[in-house]
Amino acid sequence: MPTELQGRKIAFLATDGVEKVELEEPRAAVQDAGGQVELLSVNSGEIAARNHDLEPAGTFAVDRVVGDARVDEFDALVIPGGTVNADKLRLDESAVAFVRDFVLAGKPVAAICHGPWVLVEADVVKNRTLTSYPSLRTDLRNAGATVVDQQVCIDGNLITSRSPKDLAAFCQAITDQFATTPAHT
């Protein structure tokens, strides 16, 4: 078993409406590389996943409420997409503050599809280069970002990707980038 993420703890931040594959595949990639994963959400219990935003796709158990988590407990953060997920996250003050603090701490933050909406709300995209699902690109530009149309974009500690079709490249990018970050102590 690969161990490039051994000793690293990765936070995943999601809520109801998360796109199932955008949580499952990156989480599996991190775990397969030896990383420890914790699912944070705005509420305790379970979150309802979706396929293509509309079809119910089961649930995921929440490990902890984001308001009870601290940035210094984690080495990296992943924000899966799902239109409803991202919209609910960007309306939650504790989720937005956690993302903002994570980016400002210089730790890797990865967001796919609609996930970058939370980065916009956290006011951390100005003068950064990102990619996202096409419908978010105007929002990113209006928040001061440069937008590119590519599978994965890495700008410093921000890793962004467009959609589920780019999951293989996104998963490879996050495991590679997270492996270069020293594990927290």
The residues that are catalytic are 113-114
The values of phi and psi at residue 20, to 5°, are -50, -50
Gap between the Cα atoms of 18 and 172, Å rounded: 21
Residue 110's nearest CA partner among 51, 157, 67, 55 is: 157
Alpha helices in the chain (DSSP H): 20-32, 83-90, 93-104, 116-121, 137-142, 167-179
Taking CA atoms, 69 is separated from 37, 49, 182, in Å, by: 13, 22, 19
Residue 55's nearest CA partner among 82, 26, 31, 86 is: 82
Dihedral (CA of 184, 101, 26, 28) sign: positive
